[in-house]
With several copies, the nearest count.
Chain A
Amino acid sequence: MSAATELAYLVSTALFIFSLKWMSDPKTARRGVFAGVVAMALAVGGTLLHHEIVTYRGIAIAFVLGTIVGVPLSWVPLTAVPQRTALSHAFGGLAAGLVGTAKYYLWLPTGELTTFRMAAIAVEIILGYLTCTGSLMAAGKLQEVLPTRPITYRNQNFINFGLFGIAVLIAFWLVVDPSRSFLFPILIALALAFGVLLILPIGGADMPTVISLLNSYAGLAAVAMGFVMENKLLITAGALDGSSGLILSIIMCRAMNRSFTNVLFGAFGQVQAGAAATEQRTAKSATPEDAAQILENANSVVIIPGYGMAVAQAQHRIRDLYEQLAKRGVDVKFAIHPVAGRMPGHMNVLLAEAEIPYDRLVEMDDINPDMPQVDVALVVGANDVVNPAARHDDKSPIFGMPIIDADKAKTVMAIKRSMNPGFAGIENELYFADNTLMLFGDAKAVVGDLVKQMAGGESVH
């Protein structure tokens, strides 16, 4: 590497770090994206400067094609962001795997495959190909192209671990003697297969955690590539990425009060149907007229959005509701649970899309102490994240998961289509509480009705 390239890499690394640092505040976040773009440009530019690069034409074509595919990929609706992310990880994993593969076959005849390089290549291709097929599976489940329920069979974990063990053994064998080249394609095949098998038993709703983990693997694959190519930029950027995926998945697991093992091997979401059948008690329901009146007369309203709001795309109606209430001097806040919805920060993006100012959004831990003073808690398509069983019923599967204390508000109103359970597949006693009124229907329609009532019957479209 020439000094100019190295220098470009140095600045690029610094900018990547600042890029993530600036994500600590919505005010600086766009600057963060800009820093990331400049960092990437420097990385690419510095690499192109490298004197051993003899042909640029192919690369230019690949750039153009990549851009042509990439731009439309960025237009997906916000609800499809998880799928898009998964698909991208598949591409990232593939790139790492391909580079590792090519390096192996380049170095094999020249005897340049030191133990260290071979080990790095082995890690790179295992992580790369595993991420590739795993992410494709995840994208498929999220897009519901593949069945979203967990697919299990006898001895599943045993078979998976066995396969993984064999892959590790083969990798080890290759490291000892890299010239056993017949093993290399087997290793690739195993990694590809393992990616599929790993995701099969995981339910569609657990995909966000899995995607974060795969993000981490994609980062680590880049790190391994950095070791292969002795490139510090690859190592640092990969490590940043790896940390991000790791931390996001830890946050999600914690907010669900579940362990990694449970997410990866627990086949969560299988028992859904069974648990929901025990419903017996009756819930009170209210008409939009009544509900609108209660809301108008409240001093303080906390809106608790959940996955149902995302499904119904109700955020714009909610903004109308927020404006109506604000006009009447009602204090409206939004309580955001860390795992409301299906990906970290899901609710925030949707509410931001509807131009609800982000200083109205309050985190769970900050709003809970105030809940007993709140007049109305309006639950919009949230379920598990407001289930009081998490607090007191130690037999509940979500026991110990931190929740938003909607039940402590003076009046609770819950918008959902039926008495069906949410993600965790369990009944929610909140709906049967004395101070709870149900508003049945699609979230967008119901909130639209509420707004219509308040606006005095005039159309709000």
Chain B
Amino acid sequence: MSTEFISLLFVFMLATFVGLDVIRRVSRLLHTPLMSLTNAISAIAVVGAILLAGEAETPFSTALGLLAVFASTTNIVSGFLITDRMLKMFKRREPGS
């Protein structure tokens, strides 16, 4: 086992602790928007896709990379937009009172 691997594992472990704590505190009211928000966040795969596409090492890898960039961008755009659309609807007081 390389130390680089353990180092990444370290980050994964800490991030999981943070993730479980943070999510457990999300308001029940907002579980549906949460699903679409995390959906947008999971599109972080775009980072890997850009690196792959941008480094353009072989036509094959570039093609797959671009497809992946496209797929992730779709998720980013639609995920954030729909989350915001839903959240905009949550109002505490009567409108106009």
Contact = CB atoms under 8 A, between A and B. Distances in A.
**Direct contact, A vs B (beta carbon within 8 Å):** yes
Interface of A: 1-3, 6-7, 9-10, 13-14, 16-17, 19-21, 23-27, 29-30, 32-33, 36-37, 40, 43-44, 47-48, 50, 52-56, 58-59, 61-63, 65-67, 69-71, 73-74, 76, 78, 81, 84-85, 88-89, 91-92, 94-96, 98-99, 101-103, 105-106, 114, 116, 211-212, 215, 218-219, 221-223, 225-248, 251, 336, 338, 343-346, 348-349, 352-353, 355, 357-359, 361, 363
Q: Quick one: which of B6, B35, B36, B73 has the most chain A CB within 10 A? A: B35
Given A3-B2, A248-B34, A343-B31, 10 more contacts: A23-B27, A25-B27, A29-B33, A95-B75, A231-B47, A232-B8, A239-B18, A344-B31, A348-B29, A363-B28
A92 B45 contact: yes
A238 to B, nearest CB: 7
Contact of A92 (B16, B24, B71): B71
B92 A219 contact: no
Which DSSP category, helix, strand, loop or mixed, fits chain A's interface? helix
A20 B26 contact: yes
Contact of A105 (B33, B60, B92): B60
Interface string B6-34: 11111111111111101111111111111
Interface residues of B, number: 92
Contacts of B82: 73-74, 76, 81, 84
A53 B50 contact: yes
A247 B24 contact: yes
Nearest to A361: B29
A117 to B, nearest CB: 9
B89 A98 contact: no
3 interchain residue pairs of minimum CB distance: A66-B73, A70-B77, A243-B19
A21 B25 contact: yes
Nearest to A89: B39
